[in-house]
Amino acid sequence: MSTLTHPQSAGSAALAKRIAIADTDIHHAIRSNDDLLPYLSAVNRERLTRFGGTGAAFQWFNNGGVQGHRTDLPESAVNGAAVCDVACLIRDHLDRYGVDYGLLTGLSVYGASVWPDVDYGSALCSAFNDYTLEHWLAKDSRLRFAMAICTQDPAGAVKEIERLGSHPQIVGVLMPTGAPRPFGNRFYDPIYAACEAHGLVPTLHLGTEGLATVGAPTAAGWPSYYVESRLARPGVYQAHLASFIFQGTFEKFPRLRVAFLECGIGWLPSFLWQMDSDWKAVRYQTPWVKKLPSEYVQEHVRFNSQPLVEPPSPAVLDQMLEWIHADRTLMFGSDFPHFDFDEPTQTFKNIDEGLRRRIFHDNAAAIFNLRKGA
């Protein structure tokens, strides 16, 4: 229909607005490195202009659409950069679908977490956070933000959390999933202590697999094609999830809630079963893990739905939602403005209305402090 290809012609009417929507995965970006310059020290300004290096993402990143972006958005491929700015986000997404809360998850400085020089990484994260505050968060009160941190610089990350973590629109910290050590490793504990203290959600998102100081994106080395890299994503999320559980992160930080974005849920039911079986078999080796892994997941971990799993029938989807306790664990995420965007009106259309409300809003609201500062 014409409103799909020319969304602006629909005015500001929310399409099919029936329930509150919290979209947990909206990618905002800089248009070029110049956007970061006002927020950097002289030495880092020089470094960025002379040598580059925001290093957005891994080698096959979003190899669909235009540089990974939807081709129907007017700003796509502006200056070859395929950036959708805040006006585009408001008009073509928030207003169009009646999104009540939109979590900005960035992308531009994911690479900062995996470079050898973590001071430079942390400086770029700070600059990106300041840029986001000024050019995005200040423009629309519906926006929330999982702030950038350099995951491999826990001390720097804690400083950044202390600097900005109380901002009313900052509700999480973004942790790109390609990493030199899994996120349950005690190396990261200072980050989780700071997140717990500020009520922030460590928010995992793919994007640095196989990049810089991070090894290959699979235990079988580097795949050749984008499609293979997509298919390798559940593996990295599984490694982090097993790490959180078996390193005892949730015993150490009982109020911590963690979000896993853009990894879908197809892999989750059997992984929960396997974690539970394996724990039963060898739990004497990790005695600090005090209950079934799936119980920790229900209490502490939330997943978003994108990319939407496509099982052979709607009945199977219902079953999968039950297996993962979607009424507590699942959140909606659109991945706007990427080419494999899940449209809110087309997602979970045929499931129970109460469950839809939880997935589209309540579960996200329960972990991300969406009304913080309201």
State in angstroms the smallest separation of the CB of 289 from its own copies: 9
CA dihedral 238, 241, 245, 250 (to 10 degrees): 180
242 binds its own copies per the rule CB under 8 A: yes
Q: Read off the tokens for 199.
A: 């009520």
310 interacts with its own copies by CB under 8 A: yes
Compute the half-sphere exposure of residue 366: CA atoms within 13 Å on the CB side of its CA.
Answer: 19
- Of the candidate spans 81-89, 101-109, 125-133, 217-225, the one that interacts with its own copies by CB under 8 A turns out to be 217-225
Asked whether the beta carbons of 129 and 147 are under 8 A apart, the reply is yes
What distance in Å separates the CA atoms of residue 158 and residue 217, rounded to the nearest whole number?
Answer: 27
Task: Rule CB under 8 A: say whether 181 interacts with its own copies.
Answer: yes
Q: What order of strands is seen across the sheet that includes strand 143-148?
A: 22-26, 101-104, 143-148, 170-176, 201-205, 258-261, 301-304, 330-331
Given the rule CB under 8 A, which of 71-79, 189-197, 266-274, 345-353 is the region that contacts its own copies?
266-274
Q: Does 359 bind its own copies (CB under 8 A)?
A: no
Among positions 267-296, residues that touch its own copies (CB under 8 A) are 267, 269-271, 273-279, 281-282, 285-286
Q: How far apart are CA 173 and CA 236, in angstroms?
A: 18
What element of type H or E holds 292? none
Q: Which of 352, 303, 307 is nearest to 324 (CA)?
A: 303
Nearer to its own copies, 185 or 298 (CB): 185
Q: Is 116 in the site for its own copies (CB under 8 A)?
A: no
Please report whether residue 240 would count as binding its own copies according to CB under 8 A.
yes
Query: Closer CB to its own copies, residue 164 or residue 236?
Result: 236
Interface contacts to its own copies, rule CB under 8 A: 63-64, 177-183, 185, 209-210, 214-228, 230-232, 234-236, 238-240, 242-243, 246-247, 264, 266-267, 269-271, 273-279, 281-282, 285-286, 307, 309-312, 316, 319, 323, 340
